[in-house]
Amino acid sequence: MNANRNVYLKKRTLDEARRMLFEAFSGFGVMATEHVSPDAAVGRVIAGPVFAKVSSPNFHAAAMDGIAVAAADTFGAAETRPRTLTIGTDAFWVNTGNPLPEGTDAVIMIENLNPVDDRTLTIEAPAFPWQYVRKMGEDIVATELLFPRGHRITPYCVGALIGGGIFQVPVRKKPAVTILPTGSELTDWRTVPIEAVRPGQVLESNSFVLWGLIREWGGAPSRREPLKDDVAAISRAVSDAVDEGADIVLTVGGSSAGSEDFTRTVIDAQGEVLIHGVTIMPGKPILVGRVKGTPVIGMPGYPVSMIVAFEQFVGPLICRMLGVPELQRPRVTVETTRKIPSKLGVEEFVRVKLGKVGDRIVATALPRGAGSITTITDADGIIRIPNAVEGIREHERVTAELLRPLSAVENTLVVVGSHDNTLDVLADQLRAGHDGAVTLSSTHVGSTGGLLALKRGVCHLAGSHLLDTGDGSYNVSYVKRFLPDTPVRIVNLVLRDQGLMVARGNPKGIREIADLARGDVRFINRQGGSGTRILLDYRLGQLGIDPAGIPGYDTEEFTHMTVAAAVLSGAADVGLGIYAAAKALHLDFIPVVTEQYDLIIPEIYLDWPPMKVLLETIVSAEFKRRVKALGGYSTRMTGKGIEF
Ligand SMILES: Nc1nc2c(c(=O)[nH]1)N[C@H]1C(S)=C(S)[C@@H](COP(=O)(O)OP(=O)(O)OC[C@H]3O[C@@H](n4cnc5c(N)ncnc54)[C@H](O)[C@@H]3O)O[C@H]1N2
Ligand code: MOO
C-alpha cells in the first residue's frame, strides 16, 4: 500500500458542503463594477440601480399613419353630420412615429378619412384626446428605475437601456476562473493526430467542457495547458493562478485516492483543505480548499463527476459572487419505467431518458458510469435520489430536472428493444425534415425486453428480431404470446445479415455454421434469450449439430460488439453477429442467414404525428440509401406490414 495515497477527510452531505463553501467565500454580489456598452452587456449582471437618463418617447409621437388634429375640432362629427377638415389648417399629415404638430393632440387613421379634394377631407366620427398618440414618457420616464442591481441583462433589456439613454452600463466583473487540467495521460487533441493516440493516452476534454460551463454561468474562463502528475508543477500553477488574481482556481483530475492524485497535497501545503469528499454520486471526490483567501477547487477527473461538481458548487459560487440566484432547471413529474436502485447515504444524480407515452412522462435510467460523457449527453433529464432513499420503485412518480425543453420530450418517439445500427440512421434522418421536431430515443434491452416494455406501456414502439423456431417466422408468434390484448401493427424496418465474425484473413478457414463443430475452432456465444442465440440454436437444430460438441458454446457475451471484441482479442476464433459489429472492429464477416428486424407499433400510436413521420421516413429513398450504404442490410421489405 502506497503511503502517499489520500484518504478522504470526513465526507460531507451536499447541503453541508455547499453551506461550508458559501460561508467560507463569497459575500453576495462582491464582484467589482465595470462599465460596458449596452450591445456588449447581454448576459452581464447590473451592478447598481440603473435609472433612465431620458424619457422615451421624448416627444408626443403619432402612433398610426393618418392626420394629426386637435380632438376638440372633431367633436360632433357623425355619419349623418360629417366634419370637413383642411390640410395645413386643422389637419396635418403624419406617419407613425412623427412628432405631433403644435396644437394637435390626436391622430385619425388614414383608413377613416374621406378625401374630398387635395386639401380637404371629411371625417364621420370624432377623435378623442390622445387617440393614437404615444405620449412623451409613455414608455420610459427620465429618472425612473430601469433595472435594479442583480438583474441579468437580456437582449430585450438592451432596448430599454439605449432608449433610456444608458450608453455605459454598470455591470459586475465576471469572476475570473482559471482551469488547470492535470494528468500525465492527457493528450492535446489540437496537436496530436488521432491515429497517434496510444492506449493509456486520454484526449483532454474536461477543460473545454468547463470553459463552456463557466461562460454559461457568467464567469470568465482561462485555461492552462495540461500539467503532468508532478506535485511541484501543479503547486506552481496553483500559486501562480492565485497570485495573478483568479477569483476561483479549478484543478481537474487527481482529486481522489490514487497514488498520483496530488490536489490535496498541493492545497494542504499552500493553504487549507476545507472539504474533501461529498456524499454525492457522481462527484464524490470534490475537494474545496483556500489559498490566500482564494477558493481552489479540486474537480474530479471523470467527466460526469466534474460536471455534477461544477453545477453543484462552482456555478453556484460564480452566481453568488455576481449576486444573482443560481441557475435552476425546469422540473417535471415523471414515472420510472423500472426500479432504480441507489445506495443509502449517497445522493445520486441519475441521468434519464424521457418520453411522453400516453398521458405520462416516463423516465428510463441511463448507464451510471461517471467516466462516460454519453450518460449525460444522451440524457433528457436528471433524477436526484436523496441520501436517505434506497432507490426508486418501478412506476414511482418522482421529480426530474429537465435538460431539454418539455416540448422536445413530448415529440420524442420512445423505442425500446433490440439494438440495430439502422435505428441510429433513423434517429438522424428523422431530424432532417419536419422542422427537426421529431426525436427518436432508443433504449436497448433486447427483443423480448422491448415487447415487455410495450406490455407495460412505457414506450411507443419496440424493435425486435425474434425467430419462431417452429415455423421460421419472425416476431408474430412472440407478439401474440406477449401482447395478446394489445392491437399492434408489425412493420419491417430492415432485413439484415447475421454472420460469422472471424479474425482478419480468416486464418481458421471458417466457411459456415457447420464448421463450429469441427473441433479446432473456439466459439463465443450470445446470452440465452437473445435473438442471435435463438437463431444459432435453430440453425444447429436444422443441421443436426449437438451444441455440446462446440468448444466455447457455454461462453456468453451480451452484445454483438463484445462478441466482436472477443474475436479481435483472440479469446475466440469465431462468433455470430451482425455485419456492422464486424466492420467496426475490422473483422472478416461470412454471412450465414438473413433475418428480419421489425418495429412493433401499438395501433393507438399509428395516427400520432411523430409516428406518421417515422413511417414516412423509413420508406424514403434517402433512408434506404443510407441503410444500404452501411453494408449487411436489405431494404426490400422496409415499411411493409407483416400480416398476422
Ligand atoms: N480507491 C478509490 N478510487 C477512486 C475513488 C475512491 O474513492 N477510492 N473515487 C472514484 C471516483 S468516485 C472518481 S469520480 C474518480 C475521480 O478521480 P480523480 O479526480 O482523481 O481523477 P483522475 O483519476 O485524475 O481521472 C479520472 C479519469 O478521468 C480522466 N480525466 C482526468 N482529467 C481529464 C481531462 N482533463 N480530460 C479528459 N479526461 C480526463 C482520467 O484520464 C481518468 O480516466 O476516482 C475514482 N477512484
Ligand atoms: O464521483 Mo465518482 O463519479 O462518484 O464516480
Beta carbons of 268 and 262 less than 8 angstroms apart: no
Q: Please indicate, yes or no, whether residues 289 and 378 belong to a single structural domain of this protein.
A: no
Ligand closest to CA 259: 1
Give the ligand 2 atom nearest the CA of 281: 4
The beta-strand segments (E) located in 427-580 are 439-444, 461-464, 488-502, 523-526, 556-557, 574-578
Whether cis (ω within 30° of 0) applies to the bond prior to 99 is: no
Looking at residue 528, its pLDDT comes to 85
Type of residue found at 185: E
In the three-class reduction of DSSP (H, G, I as helix; E, B as strand; rest coil), residue 421 is classed as helix
Beta carbons of 48 and 343 less than 8 angstroms apart: no
Give the ligand 2 atom nearest the CA of 369: 5
Beta carbons of 348 and 384 less than 8 angstroms apart: yes
ipTM above 0.90, yes or no: yes
d(CA 642, CA 457): 22
Q: For residues 361-398, b (16+ Cβ closer than 10 Å) or e, as one string? A: bbbbbbebebebbebbebbbbbbbbebeeeebeeeeeb
Domain membership of residue 640 (yes or no) is: no
Q: Please indicate, yes or no, whether residues 514 and 558 belong to a single structural domain of this protein.
A: yes
Looking at residue 524, its pLDDT comes to 98
Q: Please indicate, yes or no, whether residues 127 and 240 belong to a single structural domain of this protein.
A: no
What is the CA(263)–ligand 1 centre distance, in A?
A: 12
Looking at residue 2, its pLDDT comes to 41
Give the ligand 2 atom nearest the CA of 309: 1
CA-nearest residue for atom 38, ligand 1, is: 204
Q: Please indicate, yes or no, whether residues 18 and 144 belong to a single structural domain of this protein.
A: no
Structural domain boundaries enclosing 370: 331-410
d(CA 485, CA 46): 61
Beta carbons of 125 and 32 less than 8 angstroms apart: no
Looking at residue 4, its pLDDT comes to 54
Non-local (6+) Cβ contacts of 43 within 8 A are 152, 153, 218
Give the ligand 2 atom nearest the CA of 286: 1
Using CB atoms within 10 A of its CB, is residue 99 exposed (0-12), middle (13-18) or buried (19+)?
middle
Give the ligand 2 atom nearest the CA of 283: 1
Select from 322, 342, 368 the last residue of a domain. 322
The beta-strand segments (E) located in 31-82 are 33-36, 50-51, 61-62, 66-69
Give the ligand 2 atom nearest the CA of 304: 3
- Strands 120-123 and 83-86 turn out to be antiparallel
Domain membership of residue 427 (yes or no) is: no
Domain membership of residue 419 (yes or no) is: no
Instruction: Please tell me what DSSP assigns to residue 203.
Output: E
**How far out from the chain centre does Cα 144 lie?**
41
Select from 303, 322, 341 the last residue of a domain. 322
Q: Please indicate, yes or no, whether residues 180 and 313 belong to a single structural domain of this protein.
A: yes
What is the CA(475)–ligand 1 centre distance, in A?
A: 44
Q: Please indicate, yes or no, whether residues 130 and 145 belong to a single structural domain of this protein.
A: no
Looking at residue 3, its pLDDT comes to 46
Ligand 1 pocket test: pick from 186, 255, 256 the residue with the most ligand atoms within 8 Å of its Cβ: 256
CA-nearest residue for atom 35, ligand 1, is: 206
CATH number, domain containing residue 21? 3.40.980.10
Helices (H) and strands (E) in the chain, counts: 17, 37
Q: Please indicate, yes or no, whether residues 388 and 476 belong to a single structural domain of this protein.
A: no
Beta carbons of 454 and 485 less than 8 angstroms apart: no
What is the CA(330)–ligand 2 centre distance, in A?
A: 25
Beta carbons of 586 and 580 less than 8 angstroms apart: no
- Give the count of domains, the chain: 5
CA-nearest residue for atom 41, ligand 1, is: 202
Q: Please indicate, yes or no, whether residues 520 and 392 belong to a single structural domain of this protein.
A: no
CA-nearest residue for atom 3, ligand 2, is: 282
C-alpha cell read off for 433: 425534415
Residue 414, phi then psi, degrees to nearest 5: -100, 115
What is the CA(256)–ligand 2 centre distance, in A?
A: 9
C-alpha cell read off for 246: 483568479
Q: For residues 251-267, b (16+ Cβ closer than 10 Å) or e, as one string? A: bbbbbbebebbbbbbbb
What is the CA(519)–ligand 2 centre distance, in A?
A: 46
Q: Is the CB of 552 under 6 A from ligand 2?
A: no
Non-local (6+) Cβ contacts of 447 within 8 A are 417, 418, 462, 463, 464, 465, 466, 475, 478, 530, 531
Q: How far apart are the first and last CA of the chain?
A: 65
Looking at residue 5, its pLDDT comes to 62
CA-nearest residue for atom 4, ligand 2, is: 282
Domain membership of residue 246 (yes or no) is: yes
What is the CA(257)–ligand 1 centre distance, in A?
A: 9
d(CA 455, CA 417): 12
- Backbone dihedral region for residue 446 (phi beyond 0: left; psi -120 to 50: alpha; all else: beta): left
Q: Is the CB of 283 under 6 A from ligand 2?
A: yes
Looking at residue 254, its pLDDT comes to 87
Domain membership of residue 511 (yes or no) is: yes
CB count within 10 Å of CB 145 equals 10
Beta carbons of 181 and 227 less than 8 angstroms apart: yes
Ligand closest to CA 300: 1
What is the CA(246)–ligand 2 centre distance, in A?
A: 27
CATH number, domain containing residue 144? 3.90.105.10
Q: Please indicate, yes or no, whether residues 255 and 184 belong to a single structural domain of this protein.
A: yes
CATH number, domain containing residue 337? 2.40.340.10
Domain membership of residue 307 (yes or no) is: yes
d(CA 441, CA 431): 12
What is the CA(256)–ligand 1 centre distance, in A?
A: 7
Looking at residue 284, its pLDDT comes to 95
- Find the largest Cα–Cα distance for the chain: 112
- pLDDT tens, residue by residue, 546-603: 999 999 999 999 889 899 999 999 999 999 999 989 999 999 999 998 999 999 999 9
- Backbone dihedral region for residue 457 (phi beyond 0: left; psi -120 to 50: alpha; all else: beta): left
Q: Please indicate, yes or no, whether residues 397 and 546 belong to a single structural domain of this protein.
A: no
Q: Is the CB of 370 under 6 A from ligand 2?
A: yes
Ligand closest to CA 347: 2
CATH number, domain containing residue 71? 2.170.190.11
d(CA 571, CA 565): 9
Q: Is the dihedral of CA 163, 169, 171, 176 positive or negative?
A: positive
C-alpha cell read off for 540: 444447429
Select from 77, 111, 134 the last residue of a domain. 134
Q: Is the CB of 282 under 6 A from ligand 2?
A: yes
Q: Is the CB of 262 under 6 A from ligand 2?
A: no
Non-local (6+) Cβ contacts of 453 within 8 A are 337, 416, 417, 443, 445, 459, 462
Ligand closest to CA 229: 1
Domain membership of residue 641 (yes or no) is: no
What is the CA(558)–ligand 1 centre distance, in A?
A: 27
Non-local (6+) Cβ contacts of 100 within 8 A are 59, 60, 61, 62, 68, 94, 107, 133
Q: Is the CB of 305 under 6 A from ligand 2?
A: yes
Residue 339, phi then psi, degrees to nearest 5: -60, 140
- Backbone dihedral region for residue 615 (phi beyond 0: left; psi -120 to 50: alpha; all else: beta): alpha
CA-nearest residue for atom 2, ligand 2, is: 282
Q: Please indicate, yes or no, whether residues 316 and 335 belong to a single structural domain of this protein.
A: no
Q: For residues 67-87, b (16+ Cβ closer than 10 Å) or e, as one string? A: bbbbbebbeebeeeeebebee
- pLDDT tens, residue by residue, 392-444: 998 899 999 999 999 999 999 999 998 888 999 999 999 998 788 899 998 88
Angstrom distances, CA of residue 510 to CA of 398, 506, 515, 519, 521: 53, 7, 6, 12, 9
Pocket of ligand 1 (CB under 6 A): 181, 183, 185-186, 202, 204-207, 252-258, 261, 282, 284-285, 300-302, 305, 370-371
Instruction: Please tell me what DSSP assigns to residue 314.
Output: I
Q: Please indicate, yes or no, whether residues 594 and 453 belong to a single structural domain of this protein.
A: yes
Beta carbons of 61 and 163 less than 8 angstroms apart: no
**Closest residue by Cα to residue 266 from 588, 568, 91, 4:** 4
Q: Which residues of the chain have pLDDT under 50?
A: 1-3
Domain membership of residue 574 (yes or no) is: yes
What is the CA(439)–ligand 2 centre distance, in A?
A: 30
